[in-house]
Amino acid sequence: MIVMKFGGTSIEDARAMRNMCGIVKGRVKRKPVVVLSACAGVTDALIRCARAAAEGNEAEAQRILRREIVERHYDIVQGVLTDLGRQDRLIRELSAFSEELRHLLYGLSITGDLSPRVLDFVMSYGERMSTLIAASALQEMDVRAVLTDARACIMTDSTFGKAEPDLRETTARCQQTIRPRIAAGEVPVIQGFIGANEQGITTTLGRGGSDFSAAVIGAVLHAEDIEIWTDVDGILTADPKIVPDARRVEELSFHEASELAYFGAKVLHPSTLIPAMEKNIPVHIYNSRRPEAGGTLIKPRVSPTSSTVKSISYKRGVTVLNISSARMLGNYGFMKKIFDVFHEHRTSVDLVTTSEVSVSLSIESTPALEDLVRDLERHGAVQKQTGRAIVCVVGERIRAEKGIAARVFDRLRDIPIEMISQGASEINLTFVIDEKHVPRVVRDLHDEFFPRTGS
């Protein structure tokens, strides 16, 4: 069996939805499990309407719900399904969802209390609506699709907004709910991004989490392949939004792709490769609009290519904290105390550099920042710099080849660089800059390592 995950743009309208059905139908012999995101923009719209309601602007909330969510799905139903009975049934089911959301928004406008738990529940409607439509559309194309609720498959902890799957329980549930359907020749269609905790309360795995759902389902069911279908030809040499002529990378090792995903390449959720790596399952990235383009294959080991650097990623919204203290000198418990504070605030640290009397750490921006800084101040003077970005240059051979760092920093000689780290695995070179320099830095490094042919 294989897992096929389609992102929001791959099902954004009736045409895209039909295209997705065609791609799935072409792979039915391989026993696919289909994992879907919400239609593009819907999760954002759900968050906006929940926030508007909680801020007391109920009319605006209901307007977003109607215009940007409900009507959008009705349009897709009408554009994708030809059978009128089926259309009717779906519109009825969608309007039941719409009613629930309408009441929820009304409640939020009264209580004003948008907890992470409620927000997860509101967001879950995006994937529940897209899969409802997709399963029917596949059935109409004679694929034996069965809508399967992710909340009966993926059990998570209760960290609303960024829940962690419990792999043991998730394995048992997937074996119970998904496996028999595959054996019966059916094609399960499951929501990405959402799961449920032990009490059955809806959780989400973090923004962009459908990739992670696909990898978890693939790993627990021992899939032969995990396919991530998106809107670009694969993992490219840089984000095409910054470097329009970025090129497709044919193959990447698990380690290379993990570094890229972790340091900002949005095409893969940062946790996606962990379950796939553990079970040695190849991950393919394909363009749903251009399946013939070839894609990127991510596997345990890859053969050397002519290019040492494979790709350049960046992550905005980074904060650097500099903690200095004379007590750090010769005090072997200092680092532990500092890391305990990050642990207490459930904040993960990306980069660390130290000097004799200070340590600099980079973290993603977090609402816990003020509290975190206050607790760190118990151990030394804390300086914080917000509005930073991490840039990461990745390639297995960086470890062996001399002169890569010199080329990077020579190229960027007039840009202030704040923290430099050659990752522990030595397959990346990572540093921090002011966010405003991101486009120039990424473009310059791309020119350096992937010069345009003929130039």
* Residues 215-234 as x/- pattern, contact with ligand ADP by CB under 6 A: ---------------xxx--
Verify binding: residue 25, ligand ASP, rule CB under 6 A: no
Q: Applying CB under 5 A, which part among 47-55, 180-188, 203-211, 305-313 lies near Mg ion?
A: 203-211
Q: Please answer whether residues 5 and 213 qualify as being in contact, where contact means their C-beta atoms are separated by less than 8 angstroms.
A: yes
Footprint on residues 258-317 left by ligand ADP (CB under 6 A): 265-267, 311, 313
Of the residues 1, 2, 4, 9, which one makes contact with ligand ADP according to CB under 6 A: 9
Of the residues 208, 234, 380, 423, which one makes contact with Mg ion according to CB under 5 A: 208
Q: Judged by CB, which is closer to Mg ion: 54, or 189? A: 189
Verify binding: residue 239, ligand ADP, rule CB under 6 A: yes
Give exposure, 85-95, as e/b (b: 16+ Cβ within 10 Å). Answer: eebeebbebbe
As measured in angstroms, the least distance from the Cβ of 20 to Mg ion is: 15
Footprint on residues 42-101 left by ligand ADP (CB under 6 A): none
Q: Judged by CB, which is closer to ligand ADP: 311, or 360? A: 311
Q: Please answer whether residues 50 and 108 qualify as being in contact, where contact means their C-beta atoms are separated by less than 8 angstroms.
A: yes
207 binds, among ligand ADP, Mg ion, ligand ASP, none (CB under 5 to 8 A by kind): ligand ASP
Verify binding: residue 8, ligand ASP, rule CB under 6 A: yes
239 binds, among ligand ASP, ligand ADP, Mg ion, none (CB under 5 to 8 A by kind): ligand ADP
Q: Please answer whether residues 446 and 237 qualify as being in contact, where contact means their C-beta atoms are separated by less than 8 angstroms.
A: yes
Q: Judged by CB, which is closer to ligand ASP: 262, or 431? A: 262
As measured in angstroms, the least distance from the Cβ of 338 to ligand ADP is: 31
Verify binding: residue 207, ligand ASP, rule CB under 6 A: yes
* Residues 196-215 as x/- pattern, contact with ligand ADP by CB under 6 A: ------------x-------
Q: Judged by CB, which is closer to ligand ADP: 236, or 390? A: 236
The two three-digit tokens of residue 271, written as one number: 């946790």
As measured in angstroms, the least distance from the Cβ of 104 to ligand ASP is: 18
240 binds, among ligand ASP, ligand ADP, Mg ion, none (CB under 5 to 8 A by kind): ligand ADP
Verify binding: residue 282, Mg ion, rule CB under 5 A: no
Verify binding: residue 124, ligand ASP, rule CB under 6 A: no
Q: Applying CB under 5 A, which part among 7-15, 18-26, 401-409, 414-422 lies near Mg ion?
A: 7-15
Verify binding: residue 209, Mg ion, rule CB under 5 A: no
As measured in angstroms, the least distance from the Cβ of 193 to ligand ASP is: 4
Binding site for Mg ion (CB under 5 A): 7, 208
Binding site for ligand ASP (CB under 6 A): 7-8, 37-38, 43, 126, 192-193, 207-210
Binding site for ligand ADP (CB under 6 A): 7-10, 37, 208, 230-232, 235-236, 238-241, 265-267, 311, 313
